[in-house]
Amino acid sequence: VMMTILLSVIVLLAQAPAAPRAADPTEYIVGVDDVLSIVAHDHDELTRRDGVAVAVDGTIDFPHVGRVKVSRLSTRQIQDELSRRLVDGKFFTAVNLTVTVREYRSQSSTVHCEVREPGTVQLKANATLAEAISQAGHFTARAGSHVIIVRARAGKGVAAPAKPADH
C-alpha cells in the first residue's frame, strides 16, 4: 500500500493586511519597510538612488516637502504626489520624477514543512505561490501533492486554512 504524503506547506500572508488595489492591478502597492529609489531628472539634489526606506508610519522624508505618506500608494501615485508638492510649494515650476521599488520588504510569507529551506520569504511585486516555494528552496523528495494556504482576514488573526470557495 502506497502512502500519500500530504504536503504541508503553509503559506501565511498574515504579516500585513491585504494591500489596497491600485487603479491598475499590475501596479505594486508600497508598504512599510519597502525601499524606494527616487530619480529627479534634471534635479540631482532631489535624487535618492541609494534608496529611501518607508518608515513604520508609512512615510518618507523628501527634500523641500518633508514627511510624505507613501504607504498604500503605487509608485506612480507617489511620483505624482511628490511632483505636486514640489510644484505647489513653488520650489520648482516643473519636476519629472521616477519612483521605483529598490527593495521589496513590506510583504512576506512563511513557507513551512516539506521545502528545503522553510521560513519567511520576502515577496516581490505580484508574487505567486510558486515563487514563494521557489525562494524556500523548492519541495523536498518527501513532498506530497497538496498545498495548504492559510491567510489572515483583514483585522483578524489566522483561524483556519482558506478554502477555494473563500476566494
Give the model's pLDDT for residue 113.
Answer: 83
Global pTM exceeds 0.75: no
Q: Which of 12, 27, 30 is nearest to 157 (CA)?
A: 12
Residue of higher predicted confidence among 28 and 10: 28
**Tell me: the pLDDT tens digits for 51-93?**
999 999 999 999 999 999 999 999 999 999 999 999 999 989 9
Residue whose C-alpha cell is 532631489: 46
Listing DSSP states for 30-81 in one string gives P-TT-EEEEEEET-GGG-EEEEEEPPTTSEEEETTTEEEE-TTSBHHHHHHH
Looking at residues 13-19, what average pLDDT do you find?
40
Give the model's pLDDT for residue 39.
Answer: 96
Residue of higher predicted confidence among 127 and 59: 59
Q: Per-residue b/e over 30-43, b at no fewer than 16 CB within 10 Å?
A: bbbbbbbbbbbeeb
Looking at residues 119-141, what average pLDDT do you find?
86
Give the model's pLDDT for residue 6.
Answer: 34
